[in-house]
Amino acid sequence: MGMIGSLYRVTTEELEEILNDSSILEEKVFPEEGEGPTGLLDLDKSWEGIYYLLTGYGMAEMEEAKPLCPGSSLTGRL
């Protein structure tokens, strides 16, 4: 068992709609008609590898990571 990740691409207008009514997101990601959603990128369990590529740290070393940008949660080796 582990965590999986997915990214969903939306326009600025769609984002505003989703922020105003979060039920819209469920309708878009899990459509009724058996069609898969468009704009969905399934990372499955590769999100940890992507984090390592972006930061140089594994999840076990997360506490040691230094912020790349002040106020940002994105970290990396400096």
pLDDT tens for 57-67 read 777 776 666 65
- Give tens-digit pLDDT for 43-55: 887 877 887 887 7
* Burial class of residue 9, CB neighbours in 10 A (0-12, 13-18, 19+): exposed
Quickly count: other Cβ atoms within 10 Å of residue 75's Cβ. 20
Greatest CA separation for the chain: 48
Q: What is the pTM of this model?
A: 0.49
Domain that holds residue 27: 5-76
Looking at the structure of the chain, the number of domains it has is 1
